[in-house]
Structure 1
């Protein structure tokens, strides 16, 4: 075995250990089930419009969630196949099924292509043409990110942020719900806040390691990434507050000005998440959101207030 082959391929013991897990479990792990919670954003637009009550809406959103999850899984499979060599240099990512040899590269590429094609075809047949076009745009953009765009400063942040924004838009597009400017501004900059906080945390944790697995981190400074997430957080809060203050007071006989009151919970949620961003421990946003109890409580309070505001209770 040549030196180059030894670098590009996991060792035989590693392949035997990885193979013990099986191909199908490896594919499932590569599809990142823990990341699927992000795809709940497909319900954001219908929720903002107060249109979650009907059975038709629930079924349509469930379908969109499945289609977007398939598309996202396709991107993860291709991404891990492209990054397999770099992931083997990472103390944690080397355990990913593709990097460890549990999922062969051709299988990862083939399964990714099948899921991508199936999700777009399913959107065209079961939803509408615009939904299929939006899902296609997501796939093209994310695959371009895997191959090239993630190596370009600032563009990488914009692409990942746009991926979150498309998640939030697609539910509204599938149900023909108009998307307000405040919804797009708040969602877009809220996503940029989380994405840049994640990059900042990665930069802090990888300091001094030479950026072996994400070379672009060596080109960003922690000061710049801190500036980005602070700016994004401020714009997201401003956009939300402008939406909340737009009505001017209670609407249609509501008992309390829920829209205005929801600003408090929204700002507290941003401030709470910023604690983890400032510490450099927001590298896994789903862990922060799901495991921090105070943030979960604040989120539930905000959700209740937001729901009452949308329903004019």
Structure 2
């Protein structure tokens, strides 16, 4: 049974990205502390509201382009299943509610982070979507801000390594998505949408390969910094499944099938296995060290 148009327009399948709010408390070893999960869940829900508000505004601005896209033409607004006034009202309501609820229930710093996310993403939709390089950085910042939000909500200080790994991983997903879309459209013979016109496949390939390398190197240096091989070998061990996960994701990107990162993460069994092994080894590394990231 198909979900109502307004629900599908919120893109609940993309809420998986908001799980990144768990990254900082996981890295800090704070998830087992009392009261932490409630704050993390609230932050996740608030980010779902903020991101869905952005998706609605984005789809309103891109409605004509989406109607010419082989897959996006089925989005509720582009398909005419959801009216423009209703979508606009829902989008504005969610964008206002997210930082307001953050300030009232969680903290003012989190509200500021949510507001920053919304401002950057709306600016992207209005002005920077077709500005080469800048668009990649702004979309990547959305993933990075999600990771930072989890730290801000709990008052956890973040290290330069955490930020580097988060940004490199974000850039890998965004540039990999763009590369896959470029390859898919070229192979289908359909016209390339405007946001991809300024990029060549080779440039996007360079960016995602650079991001994959930076993510792997940054994580490795971070892992060695987290543990002493004589007393806690798990951070070093976690480098192996992390690198395998990056390589497997890069494999999907290279095949041109990473147009929807959330789908790849859920459907690729090997990637899920590597991610699970990394989670286990990283959790063990956190258990055997003092809380800090």
TM-score (norm 1): 0.89
Q: When the two structures are aligned, how many residues end up with a matched partner?
A: 287
- Per-residue deviation, 1:110: 0.8
Q: Which residue of 1 aligns with 2:164?
A: 185
Corresponding position of 1:114: 93
Q: Which runs of 5+ in 1 are unaligned?
A: 1-19
Q: Which ranges of 4 or more aligned residues in structure 1 deviate by more than 2 Å?
A: 247-251
Which aligned pairs between 1:126-145 and structure 2 lie closer than 5 A? 126-145=105-124
Which residue pairs with 1:56 in the alignment? 35
C-alpha deviation, 1:101, in angstroms: 1.2
- Is the 1:42–1:171 contact (alpha carbons within 8 Å) kept by the matching residues of 2? yes
Provide the rounded CA distance (Å) in 1 between the counterparts of 2:95 and 2:13.
Answer: 19
Change (3 A) 1:172 1:265: same
Q: Offset of 1:91 from its aligned partner?
A: 2.0
Higher Cα Rg, which structure: 1
* 1:240-251 to 2 correspondences below 5 Å: 240-247=219-226, 249-250=228-229
Structure 2 residue aligned with 1:272: 248
Q: Is the 8 A contact 1:272 1:295 kept in 2?
A: yes
Cα RMSD for the two superposed structures: 1.5
Aligned to 2:77: 98
1:54: Cα distance to partner?
A: 2.4
CA distance in 2, matches of 1:109, 1:55: 39
Residue number among 270, 276, 301 corresponding to 2:277 in the alignment? 301
Quick check: 2:46–2:102 contact (8 Å CA) kept in 1? yes
Greater relative CO, 1 or 2 (CA 8 Å, sep 6+): 2
- 2:256 is equivalent to residue 286 of structure 1: no
Give the distance between the partners of 1:114 and 1:279, measured in 2 at CA: 39
Partners of 1:244 and 1:147 in 2: CA distance: 39
TM-score (norm 2): 0.95
CA distances 1:105-135 after superposition (whole Å, capped 9, x unpaired): 1111110000111111001111111111110
Q: 2:25 aligns with which of 18, 21, 46?
A: 46
Q: Partners of 1:188 and 1:175 in 2: how far apart?
A: 20
Q: 2:234 aligns with which of 251, 255, 258?
A: 258
Could you tell me whether the CA contact under 8 Å between 1:210 and 1:218 is conserved in 2? no
Contact 1:120–1:135 (8 Å) recurs in 2: yes
8 Å Cα contact 2:227-2:285 kept in structure 1: no
1:259–1:305 Cα contact (<8 Å) kept = yes
Task: Give a deviation string over 1:222-258, Cα, whole Å, max 9, x none.
Answer: 000000000011111111011111256336x44xx00
**1:30 matched to which residue of 2?**
9
